[in-house]
Amino acid sequence: MPTQSEERAALDTVPTGLFIGGKWRDGARTFPVLDPATGATIAEVADASAEDGIAALAAAADAQADWAATPPRERSDLLMRAHRALLADVDRLGLVLTLEMGKPLAEARGEIAYAAEFFRWFAEEAVRLDGGYMQAPTGGSRFLVTKQPVGPSLLITPWNFPIAMGARKIAPALAAGCTSVIKPAEQTPLSMLALAAVLEQVGLPAGVVNVVTTTDPAAVIEPMIRDPRSRKLSFTGSTAVGKVLLEQCASTVMRTSMELGGNAPLLVFDDADLDEAVEGALAAKMRNIGQACTAANRILVQRGVAEEFGRRLAERMAALPIGRGTEPDVVVGPLIDADALAKVEHLVADARQRGAEVLTGGERPDGPGTFYPATVLTGVPDAAELCHTEIFGPVAAIGVFDTEQEAITRANDTPYGLVAYVFTENLRRGLRVCEALETGMVGLNQGVVSNPAAPFGGVKESGLGREGGFSGIDEFLETKYIGVRL
């Protein structure tokens, strides 16, 4: 467990200014960053204005041509240096992440390692950008196809995985030859500022990545979106905000990728391995204290095993230690802020009023911080509010189904389609159900789907485009066709 002096030392290593054109600069004002476990201010960070945002975009635009012309091997080498630097500094970076976001140290260190893998994956992809050559069907000419960087990109990241989501956007942009301006969430700016400092240390050229932190994202982002120098927007956040940004991007027909909200169903059939299903549900529900767009939001269990599944899951959830993320063995840290806590309390109260039963948890503990215990509800009706919105907290809501088709219909009864989870030992059923689910990703007998080598993204109102995998770099590339007459 780190001491207060060790916590302070880690925080003091992080720059707190704006990173524009390779220089750290002050903002006209600052805003506080809070520790959600205590409510204490742990840092003051520069609060960017709209003019700061345009300055950052100008720096990215000025650096674009040189970065696009940088040989792929040099871009790849930079990414590999970032990969190694993150792994070498995992303890410091993990502590900073825990202090501003609240997740347990073990998870925070895991996130740093996860972020590092994006730099390694896209370092490998940077030197494998391909094209095409073919004869015209009518003869007499040839078609050349090449890939070129989209150009200066705006990257907006969420608070729940502040360094991993930054890496998932920055790494493919760098690999493709795109410069960028990144705007982290105001609740967790320190992790992104720390990442920018790491990139600076491993040789990032000036202006290639710029960071603006702000408490007024609408005022800072919209002018950059409407500026024709911006050619790409990558956003991770709520569907409501994503829709507003898409409307703004239409003004310049900007390329977009959107990783938006989810309402993930987790289906447990009566032929599932229940031990495996409970472990999978625990992973899908409790990663990041339940504050993940991939979190299992609606757990639907076939009637024959519903009671036993609920009992086993409640036993596991009740045993999860709650506390500040820096404390030994803690699994359930604080929620990000008071609004998040109030939302979870409201959703649980609504479900109980509609007939749901609490098997464990369900009551906020006394004391400071935005803590909520691991909670299991059974008999949750589809009418409950938490079945129609992201819970974003450590609450497992269990409902019952009878038939395979009922499970599929209820799972798909949502405007969202990010991820789903299916537990069954029947291969035919597993494939049938996975193909019928209207989601961009499915975990079959596993509760975690995120991987830098896999395409991450959703359908319907859960987003556009993919991050990670072979698809991730394509989001930052344009296809150019050159016709050659012989």
Active centre residues (catalytic): 259, 293
Q: How large is the C-alpha radius of gyration of the chain? A: 23
Q: How many residues in total does the chain contain?
A: 486
Q: Identify the helix (H) or strand (E) that includes residue 209.
A: strand 209-211
CB 16 within 8 A of CB 45: yes
CA separation for the pair 324, 102 (Å, rounded): 7
Inter-helix orientation angle 274-286/303-318, to 10°: 50
Which amino acid appears at position 187 of this protein? Q
CA separation for the pair 438, 419 (Å, rounded): 9
Helix, strand or coil, per DSSP, at residue 371: coil
- Helical H segments across 162-293, by residue range: 164-176, 189-201, 217-226, 239-249, 274-286
Measuring CA to CA, which residue among 270, 289, 301 is closest to residue 421? 301
Helix, strand or coil, per DSSP, at residue 461: coil
According to DSSP, the residues that pair with 268 across neighbouring strands are: 301, 423
**Residue 480 burial (C-beta neighbours within 10 Å; 0-12, 13-18, 19+):** exposed
243 Cβ contact partners less than 8 Å away, ≥ 6 residues apart:
none
Q: Which residue has the tokens 């979106």?
A: 225
**Residue 412 burial (C-beta neighbours within 10 Å; 0-12, 13-18, 19+):** middle
Q: What are phi and psi of 216, to 5 degrees?
A: -130, 65
CA separation for the pair 308, 359 (Å, rounded): 12
Count other C-beta atoms under 10 Å from residue 422's C-beta. 27
474 alpha-carbon distance from chain centroid: 19
Q: Are strands 375-378 and 419-423 parallel, antiparallel or unpaired?
A: unpaired
107 Cβ contact partners less than 8 Å away, ≥ 6 residues apart:
287, 288, 325
CB 386 within 8 A of CB 347: yes
Q: Identify the helix (H) or strand (E) that includes residue 410.
A: helix 404-412
